[in-house]
Amino acid sequence: MLLSPEEFRDALTLRYQFKAQGDKRNCEGCGGRWGLQHALNCKRGGHVGRRHNEVNQAWCDLAELAFASAVGKGEPVVRAEGEVTGRPALYGDFLVRGLWVRQR
């Protein structure tokens, strides 16, 4: 994983629980009081989704290395709409065909 200098400093700050640098007082996404925990958990700031997408892309890249043409990048249906009463449909991030094979 390649980190920019700013991302590297942020990673060290989180790992070793250093005090955050800068004079930021409010969240840019929601306007709430800013802190490390808020930055990690704020749904409106965009960082939660971005981290999810980065991890998702890393897993997808690893799966492509291991299974070459068996990786599908779409939103595979995990559970269809109406399959469970009162529950919405569930979609995955990517699909690896043939990963789970019953042992004999």
Domain-wise residue ranges, the chain: 19-96
Q: Is 16 helix (H, G, I), strand (E, B) or coil?
A: coil
Q: What is the pLDDT of residue 24?
A: 72
Q: What is the pLDDT of residue 103?
A: 58
Q: Is the pLDDT at 53 greater than 80, yes or no?
A: yes
Q: What is the pLDDT of residue 67?
A: 83
* Mean pLDDT within 18-24: 72
Closest alpha carbon to 90 in 98, 81, 103, 100: 81
Q: Please report which confidence band the pLDDT of residue 38 belongs to, taking 50, 70 and 90 as the band edges.
A: confident
Put simply, whether the predicted model's pTM sits higher than 0.85 gets the answer no
3-state secondary structure 53-104: HHHHHHHHHHHHHHHHHHEECCCCEEECCCCCCCCCCEECCCEECCCCCCCC
Signed CA dihedral, 87, 89, 91, 97: sign only: positive
By percentage, how much of the chain surpasses pLDDT 90?
2
